[in-house]
């Protein structure tokens, strides 16, 4: 459950960066940094195996 919530939040962060750049929001470079953090989280959880598997 917690893992699913974290992955969903990371996906939102990953999508928010390019969307902010497209819509020319103020401080869009910070959104791109958050997007990179979201990508790192997604990659971490994708390659990390769950305990018990």
Q: How far apart, in whole angstroms, are the C-alpha atoms of residue 24 and residue 20?
A: 6
Q: How far apart, in whole angstroms, are the C-alpha atoms of residue 2 and residue 44?
A: 14
Cα-based distances in Å from 45 to 1, 11, 23: 13, 12, 29
pLDDT at 28: 84
Q: Please give the chain's pLDDT, 53 residues, in tens.
A: 888 899 899 999 999 889 988 998 898 889 999 999 999 999 998 888 766 55
Burial (CB count within 10 angstroms: exposed 0-12, middle 13-18, buried 19+), residue 5: exposed
pLDDT at 33: 92
pLDDT at 50: 67
pLDDT at 25: 85
């Amino acid at each position: 459950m917690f893992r699913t919530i974290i992955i969903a939040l990371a996906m939102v962060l990953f999508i928010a960066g390019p969307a902010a750049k497209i819509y020319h929001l103020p401080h869009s470079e910070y959104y791109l940094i958050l997007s990179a953090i979201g990508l790192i989280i997604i990659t971490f959880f994708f390659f990390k195996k769950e305990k018990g598997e």
